[in-house]
Structure 1
Amino acid sequence: MDFCSVLPEELVLSYILPYLSIVDLAECKLVSTRWLEMVRRYYKSLKELDLTPWDFMVTEDYLVNIIMHGQLLRIIRLSKCWRASTATAVFLVANTCSRLQVLHISHCGSLTDQAVEDVARKCKELKEVDMSSCYKITDAAMCSLADHAKNLEELYVSSVYGVTDFGVSQLSFKGLSLKTLDVSYCFRVSDKGLVGILKRPQETNLLKSLRIKGCAKITDPFIQQLWQAGVEVNNMF
C-alpha cells in the first residue's frame, strides 16, 4: 500500500503542505485525486500568500489556480512576479479575495489602472498597497484608491512615473487617511500635490511617514512645514 495514501488528511494539511515549495505543491496535485483535493483544501485555508521567493517561476496559471480557492486570503505578496500578475489574475483577486487587506505587487509591468480599480472597488478592507515600479500605473489608479479604498493606511508608488500632483492630491481631497505614503522618484510630484496634507484638520491628518527621495520639485521650505505638522519626511533613502 502507498504510504502517502494512508496519511491522515489533517496531518497533511497542517504539517506537510505548509512547508512545501510551489513546485512540490504542484507535484503533490499529480499524485492522486485525493492529493489534488487536499492541496485545494489547503489553498482554501490560506490567509496569507507570499510567492515572492519564486518570482521567476510563478505563472498566471499557477496563481489563478490558487486564487480561485483563496476566499480567505488577507495578504497577497506578488512583488516581481511579473509573469503571474496579469490582468486576468488581478481581476480574479478582486472578485475572489473580498477580505484582502495587503497587496504587494511591485515591479510587475503588466499591472494596469483598471486592475487597481477592480481591487479597490471589491476589496473594502484594503489597508496596504505596494505598486512601486509598475510603469503602466497612472493617476487613474490613484483616483480609484482615493474613491474606493477608504481604509487604506499605507501606499507605495515609488518610481511610478505616471503619478502626478493630481493623483497624489486626490488622496487627501477624497478623505483618505494614510499613515505612510511613498512617492520616491515620482518626479512629477511637487509641493502642490502634497499641500492637501497640511490643509486637513489636525485630528483627521494621520500621515506619519512620507518618502520623497528623488522628488526634486518638493522644496525645502515645504518639507519644513511637513516636519512641523508632525510628518516624518524621508528624502535620503
Structure 2
Amino acid sequence: MAKKHGKRLKSLEVFGCHALTAPCMTYMARECPNLQILNMGRLPKITDTCLAQMMSNLKSLRSLNVTGLTVIRDRVLHHIVRQCPKLERLTISSCPLLTDVSLIEISTYLQTIQYLDVSGCKKVTDTGVQALAMSCHQLQYLDLSSTETGHRGVCLLASYCKNLECVKLSFCKEISQDAVKKLCKSCIKLKLLHLYGCRTMYDLKAIKDTNKNVKVHHDLSVHSSHQA
C-alpha cells in the first residue's frame, strides 16, 4: 500500500528537516518516481552520492529546491540537470561551491527553465549570466542577489531575456545604473526589481521612469547615505 501511494506522490516539502538521513531520502526517491515538486533545502545529512542516486530516479521533477546544501558543487549540479530535463524551477541559493560552470550546465540542459534562484552563490559572475542570457530565453524569475554579477551580465539579460518578470540584484556590487535602466527598458514584461544594497544606484527616479510598470524594491537608507 505504501509503495502504491508513493507512486502517486507529486509534491514533497522537507525543507529544514535536519534529522532526515541520506538513506531515507534515497529510499523516498526510489519509491516516488513520479514526484514533480521537491523542496529539500537545509538538510545537513544529505551527501553528493545520495543526490546522484535520488536524481536518477526523479526524472519527472519540475521544481527542485536545494537551498543551502553544502554538498552541491558543479559536478553534482551537472548530474541534476542531466537527469531531470523537465525542471522548470530550480533554487540553488546559498550553495557556496557552485561556480559559473553550473550556470553553463543549466544553459545547456535546461534551456526552457522559467525560474532560477542562485542568490548567495558568490562564485557566479557575468560569465555564467552570459550563458543563461544566450540560451534560457523563457526565464521569468531570476535571483542573482549576492553574486558577482556586474554591468555586462545585466546588459546581456536585457538584450536576450525578454520574458523576465522578476529580477533580484540585491547586493551585487558591480552592477551599474545604466545597465539597470536598459533592463527596465528592454524587458517590457518586468514587474519587480530588487536593488537592496546596490550603492551604485544614485537616481531611483530615472530607473522607475524607464518603465512605469516595474516596482523597484530598494534600501532607501543606503540611497540616502550615498547621496550624503
Q: Report TM bin, short chain.
A: 0.7 to 0.9
Paired residue total: 194
2:171 to 187, 208, 214: 214
Equivalent residue runs for 1:113-124 within 5 Å: 113-124=74-85
Equivalent residue runs for 1:184-203 within 5 Å: 184-186=145-147, 188-200=148-160
Paired residue for 2:39? Answer: 77
Q: Is the 8 A contact 2:25 2:54 kept in 1?
A: no
- Note if 1:42 corresponds to 2:5: yes
- Note if 1:129 corresponds to 2:90: yes
Deviation at 1:223, TM superposition (A): 1.1
- Note if 1:205 corresponds to 2:166: no
Q: Is the 8 A contact 1:124 1:151 kept in 2?
A: no
Deviation at 1:177, TM superposition (A): 2.2
Equivalent residue runs for 1:155-194 within 5 Å: 155-186=116-147, 188-194=148-154
1:59 to 12, 21, 39: 21
Deviation at 1:205, TM superposition (A): 1.7
Give the 4+ runs in structure 1 shifted more than 4 A: none
Q: Is the 8 A contact 1:142 1:171 kept in 2?
A: yes
Deviation at 1:176, TM superposition (A): 3.7
Equivalent residue runs for 1:18-33 within 5 Å: none
Determine the C-alpha separation between the residues in 2 that align with 1:130 and 1:109.
14
**CA RMSD, Structure 1 to Structure 2 (Å):** 1.6
| Matching residue's letter, 1:40 | K
2:57 to 96, 100, 107: 96
Paired residue for 1:138? Answer: 99
Deviation at 1:116, TM superposition (A): 1.3
1:31-73 CA deviation, whole Å, 9 max, x = no partner? xxxxxxx333332221111111x52111101101101112101
Determine the C-alpha separation between the residues in 1 that align with 2:185 and 2:162.
13
Determine the C-alpha separation between the residues in 2 that align with 1:141 and 1:113.
5
| Matching residue's letter, 1:63 | M
Which stretch of structure 1 is more off in the superposition, 172-181 or 95-104?
172-181
| Matching residue's letter, 2:184 | W
Determine the C-alpha separation between the residues in 2 that align with 1:42 and 1:88.
26
| Matching residue's letter, 1:127 | E
Unaligned runs of 5+ in 1: 1-37
Paired residue for 2:208? Answer: none
Q: Is the 8 A contact 1:164 1:189 kept in 2?
A: yes
Determine the C-alpha separation between the residues in 1 that align with 2:104 and 2:181.
27
Q: Is the 8 A contact 1:184 1:212 kept in 2?
A: yes
Determine the C-alpha separation between the residues in 2 that align with 1:151 and 1:70.
24
Deviation at 1:93, TM superposition (A): 2.8
Unaligned runs of 5+ in 2: 197-216, 218-228
Determine which structure has more spread, i.e. the larger CA radius of gyration: 1
1:86-137 CA deviation, whole Å, 9 max, x = no partner? 2122212321111110000001111121121112112121100001001111
